[in-house]
Amino acid sequence: MSTGGAGRESGSEAGSAEDTRRPAYGAGRVLIFVYGVFAVSATARAAVQLIRDASEAPLAYVLSAVAAVVYLAATVAMAHNGRRMRRVAWVTVTFELVGVLTVGALSLAQPDLFPHASVWSHFGAGYGYVPAVLPLLGLFWMWRSSPARIAHG
């Protein structure tokens, strides 16, 4: 199945197709935009929490900062087609999924660890559960738009 990869050249080795498409179309652009919004909002939230109230809930606030870094890295990596940046995107979005599932479960099982909410606590309830759904969408989109998968499909 081709997704508009005109200009793609096939190399001499299997799987060495050069992807010359622009980074994202349609749903991919929307997904990257949402990641960008979460990167900005998580960064702002973590900065305010750490500057103003760091001693009240250090674990939750540090986890908000970690989420911010992950969202920033995922946004930049997903916006590029390069092989290395795609790997960075896979790692960051997978880390995000593991993080939101782990922190979500811990915040329910050990609420005393999270006296204040973080971006990922309660599976992202404070953000309408988007943090729980976003990495699933990100992983699906990266798989669906994979140049290697498209070249072989």
Question: Which pLDDT tens digit goes with each residue over 11-27?
Answer: 444 455 565 655 556 88
- Coil, helix or strand at residue 110: coil
pLDDT of residue 3 exceeding 50: no
Asked whether residue 92 is domain-assigned, the answer is yes
Q: What one-character DSSP code corresponds to residue 99?
A: H
98-148 per-position pLDDT tens digit: 999 999 999 999 998 888 888 899 999 988 999 999 999 999 999 988 776
∠ CA(64), CA(117), CA(52), 5° rounding? 65
User: How many domains does one find in the chain?
Assistant: 1
In a domain? residue 153: no
What is the extent of the structural domain holding 135?
27-147
> Is 107 domain-assigned?
yes
List alpha helices for 54-146, DSSP H. 58-78, 83-109, 130-144
The burial class, CB within 10 Å (0-12 / 13-18 / 19+), for 11 is exposed
Assigned domain for 5 exists: no
